[in-house]
Amino acid sequence: MTSTVNKIAKGTLYVVGGIIALVVLLMVFPPDTSEIYDPHKDISLLRSHMVNEEYAIAEDIVIASREQSYEDQEAQRIIDSFSIVLSGLTEEIKEQRAAMLQEQEAEVRKEKIESQFSGWDGSHNNLKKLLKENMNDPSSFDHVETTYRDDGDHLTVIMRYRGANSFGALVLGSIIAKVDLEGNVLEIISQD
């Protein structure tokens, strides 16, 4: 019986010694608990991952919005630049058009004025006619020179001529008249 008790005591010692060795080993080399399944840990990781994903999506949206905003600002800057250039061109075109209209009006005015004068001797047609009607001998009329000044709403015409006086002698005379733009003699300013 003692031998059985000894065997049991020896076996118990072996078991207790093994447990003690196991405890010491666990203390020196703790087990890796990361591989132990913890459902709460998985849910919190999942929530954390979802929050991180939502944050990343939100951050992507903000970045895309900033990029779009930058692109919009850049497009607006380009549009503004073109607007400035176009407004400058528009003003330049308006100025050129106004200048062309002024040139055309000036050309029409010049032609209208020049049409009042003879292409042959340069005399003012209506003034010459009026002068001849009032001469002693209209057939003695000889045009010397005609000049004019454009006074805006009328012309001042100065004409030099030769003609027979009441004694039949040829004399040099001059007449200054105010003439409208249609060629009508408005007023005789002076005559000698």
pLDDT band at residue 78 using 50, 70 and 90 as cut-offs: confident
Which own/partner pairs from 7-12 qualify as long-range (CB within 8 Å, at least 24 positions apart)?
none
Across the range 56-61, mean pLDDT stands at: 63
Task: Give the DSSP H or E segment for 53.
Answer: helix 39-114
pLDDT > 60? residue 46: no
- Distance between CA atoms of 113 and 99, rounded to whole angstroms? 21
pLDDT of residue 39: 53
- Distance between CA atoms of 138 and 10, rounded to whole angstroms? 172
pLDDT of residue 66: 65
Q: Where are the domains of the chain?
A: 38-114, 119-191
Across the range 103-128, mean pLDDT stands at: 94
pLDDT of residue 144: 96
- Distance between CA atoms of 166 and 153, rounded to whole angstroms? 37
- Distance between CA atoms of 151 and 77, rounded to whole angstroms? 52
Higher pLDDT, 165 or 66: 165
pLDDT of residue 56: 60
pLDDT of residue 61: 64
Across the range 171-191, mean pLDDT stands at: 95
pLDDT of residue 67: 63
pLDDT of residue 173: 95
Higher pLDDT, 69 or 125: 125
pLDDT > 60? residue 63: yes
Which own/partner pairs from 171-180 qualify as long-range (CB within 8 Å, at least 24 positions apart)?
172/144, 175/127, 175/131, 177/124, 177/127, 178/154, 179/116, 179/124, 179/126, 179/127, 179/148, 179/154, 179/155, 180/153, 180/154, 180/155
pLDDT of residue 24: 63
pLDDT of residue 73: 75
Of the candidate ranges 64-73, 153-162, 171-180, the one whose mean pLDDT is the lowest = 64-73
Mean pLDDT of the chain: 80
**Domain 119-191, CATH among 1.10.287, 3.30.360, 3.30.70, 1.10.3470:** 3.30.360
| Spatial contact of 183 and 125, defined as CB atoms under 8 Å apart | yes
pLDDT > 70? residue 90: yes
